[in-house]
Chain A
Amino acid sequence: MNTQKNKYINSYVAGFFLGLLIIAAYYFAGEGLGSSGGYRDVAFGVINKISPEYAHQNAFVAPHVSSDEGPTHTWLVYELIGVIFGAILSAVIFGRMKWSIGKAPHITNKKRLYLALIGGVLWGVGTQLGRGCTSGLVLSGMAVNSLSGYIGLIAIFGFGFIFAYVFKKLWIKTKN
């Protein structure tokens, strides 16, 4: 068990590096880090490919598909590609490369995947209402001392605690 733990970097050190990364992101890209934005841009790209008329009429999608280069030509999309690249390398170097579904031992894979899908959908809707996820809203927001970043932090982790309490049975086996 101990060896498993040592494969990960100390979380405080990782946080420090993440902070340096945000500075680099602002310096080179002129924008903070983000992840939901990249997925959103890919989604816009798919919508634009399937039905350009709809994409140009829709008030939410239209501003993003009007440029010549298309909605996926943003720093966040490339950042995500880099994240995939780096994650694979990191997993290989630290011997974590295997197919698995991270879940509590007492629930089935199917249940875990359904719940993850529901959670993902809620997260997707939420990030668009909040204009960013933990990285885009909270991390990058707080880096520039934006009030929305602090509110986002309180809301995400505050409600996270509440929901964790409600759904803890999915992760921790209780007596009944």
Chain B
Amino acid sequence: MEELFQTARDIHGLYPHVHIWGWPIATYLFLGGLAAGILLFATLYYLKGKENDMPFTVKIAPIFTFIIIVIGLLLLVYDLHHKLYVWQLFTTFRIESPMSWGAWTLVAVSILSLLWPLSYVDDIEKYLYERGWKKLDFITKFIRNLEHNWLIPRFIILTFRKYRTFFAWILLFLSIILGIYTGILLSAFNAHPLWNNPILGPLFLTSGVSTGSAFVMWLSNNKKERKLMSTIDMALIAMELFFIIHMIMGMQAGPEAFKQAAHLFLGGEFTVIFWVIFVGFGLVLPFILEAFELKGFHVPPALPALLVLIGGFIFRVIMVYAGQMSEYPF
């Protein structure tokens, strides 16, 4: 009987093909987490009334999230086998399906993240001039034109501005869902032991928020804001390390399939890239650099920020590829 099962498992097409997800999905998960992180900070600091203390975080950074989400969604469509059927995801909502949650959350988030910066056009223009990106002011001119000359866009922008606090609460909630969803999407795959663990949701959320803070730290032109984001990022990196250690400890204490999954990072194929490149260069080094910066040493903010962003991307690539390799033993 056992022999029959062993051979049957090899029959092509009996199991869904395991290596179906590649770099587009990993990139999409990274971009989703990044957008969630940026929006989380924007809405949180808006609701705390720090709109003017944290101008880049609240007013300018969200304009990037719309672009980030659109790139992510394009990658998602690119990954589909039947690209033209993508609209069918939006004809249904299944509460038990993370993909359904993700698809709908992304639509809501992308609309809100587009509307959010539209009503901060003066601040965006000021930022562009301060950075010397004057060539990009066609964007702000276009928004002004929409607001003043077109009736429906004007109505939408003014309504959004009026009820901004209400939308901020919704967006805050949705950004947390989006951040968690990028992890839950993987952990819903019961057939892969590496993915099938509950820490993945919070771990991906923390990592996404950390990349969000790194993004703000990198592009902000306000010193105080940078410093605060740097401090927050250090705390997030510490949390990430905590989650990672617990994820691996939990797997080591689990049944054989989970031990084998953990072995991918403890001597297996992904050991070096996980510990040296992701943990070493994507978490520990930026943490040390940020600590030095807080102590008053001169560190270009782009350096720790880029390390965190690249580390976050590599983490998702590792998780997507390693997860598909981890299977339950025969």
Instruction: For B297, give its contact among A73, A81, A85, A95 (CB under 8 Å).
Output: A95
Cα separation A95 to B299 with both chains bound (whole Å): 8
Q: Report the interface size class on chain B.
A: 10 to 19
Cα separation A92 to B291 with both chains bound (whole Å): 11
Q: How many residues of A contact B (CB 8 A)?
A: 12
Question: Do A78 and B303 touch across chains, with their CB atoms under 8 A apart?
Answer: no
Which residues of B49-101 are within 8 A (CB) of A? none
Question: Do A97 and B300 touch across chains, with their CB atoms under 8 A apart?
Answer: yes
Asked if A5 is at the interface of the complex by the 8 Å CB criterion, the answer is no
Asked if A81 meets B299 with Cβ closer than 8 Å, knowing A88-B289, A92-B289, A93-B292, the reply is: no
Which residues of B277-321 are within 8 A (CB) of A? 280-281, 285, 288-289, 292, 297-300, 303
Question: Do A97 and B298 touch across chains, with their CB atoms under 8 A apart?
Answer: yes
Asked if B276 is at the interface of the complex by the 8 Å CB criterion, the answer is yes
Q: Is the interface of A mostly helix, strand, loop or mixed?
A: helix
Cα separation A89 to B281 with both chains bound (whole Å): 12
Collect the chain A residues with CB atoms within 8 Å of residue B299's CB. 92, 97
Which residues of A50-103 are within 8 A (CB) of B? 73, 78, 81, 85, 88-89, 92-93, 95, 97-99
Cα separation A149 to B288 with both chains bound (whole Å): 38
Task: Tell me the minimal C-beta distance from B275 to chain A in angstroms.
Answer: 11
Collect the chain A residues with CB atoms within 8 Å of residue B303's CB. 88, 97
Question: Do A85 and B300 touch across chains, with their CB atoms under 8 A apart?
Answer: no
Collect the chain A residues with CB atoms within 8 Å of residue B288's CB. 89
Question: Do B285 and A85 touch across chains, with their CB atoms under 8 A apart?
Answer: yes
Task: Tell me the minimal C-beta distance from B280 to chain A in angstroms.
Answer: 7
Collect the chain A residues with CB atoms within 8 Å of residue B276's CB. 78, 81
What 0/1 readout, one digit per residue, does chain A (4-41) give for beta carbons within 8 Å of chain B?
Answer: 00000000000000000000000000000000000000
Instruction: For B285, give its contact among A73, A88, A95, A97 (CB under 8 Å).
Output: A88
Which of A78, A92, A93: most chain B Cβ within 10 A?
Answer: A92
Collect the chain B residues with CB atoms within 8 Å of residue A78's CB. 276
Cα separation A93 to B291 with both chains bound (whole Å): 11
Task: Tell me the minimal C-beta distance from A87 to chain B in angstroms.
Answer: 11
Closest Cβ neighbor of A73 among chain B residues = B272
Asked if A95 meets B292 with Cβ closer than 8 Å, knowing A85-B280, A88-B303, the reply is: no
Closest 10 CB pairs of A and B: A92-B292, A92-B299, A92-B297, A95-B298, A97-B299, A81-B276, A97-B300, A97-B298, A92-B289, A85-B285
What are 9 residue pairs bridging A and B, where the CB atoms are less than 8 Å apart in the complex?
Answer: A78-B276, A81-B276, A81-B281, A88-B285, A88-B303, A89-B288, A92-B298, A97-B303, A98-B300
Interface residues of B (CB under 8 A from A): 272, 276, 280-281, 285, 288-289, 292, 297-300, 303
